[in-house]
Amino acid sequence: MPLDMKELASEVCEELRTEHPDRELEFEVGELPAARGDRTLTRQVLVNLVSNSVKFTAGEEKAVIYVGVRERQRQQRLLRERQRGGVRHEILDRLFGVFQRLHSADDFEAQV
């Protein structure tokens, strides 16, 4: 189904703000392209991604968390988040290594 990613990300950020009333959380949701997918699963990905930023900024007096995209190559976008403080740069590669594709698309039957 079509997804309004900016609306979905804003919904997730507001939910996390409500879940952490004791924290000063500032969320910035940048422009996000429309997408197609399963709303429930995509929402869960956003919850996991943004809640990690909330968790990793626990020691910050005020957490500023950004959700947006970064252009990688022509017509290719990468969903990203960033926060002030939190995760040390030297461990970022290890943090997202679990999401690397282990198989190419050719390894699976085409779905019609």
User: One digit per residue, pLDDT tens: the chain, 112 residues?
Assistant: 999 999 999 999 999 999 999 999 999 998 888 888 899 999 998 999 899 888 888 888 898 888 887 666 554 444 555 555 555 555 555 655 555 555 565 665 554 4
Which pTM does this prediction carry? 0.65
CA distance 38 to 41: 6
The Cβ-side half-sphere exposure at 6, using a 13 Å CA radius, reads 8
> What domains does the chain contain, in order, with CATH numbers?
2-99 (3.30.565.10)
Three-class secondary structure assignment of 76-93: EEEEEEEECCCCCHHHHH
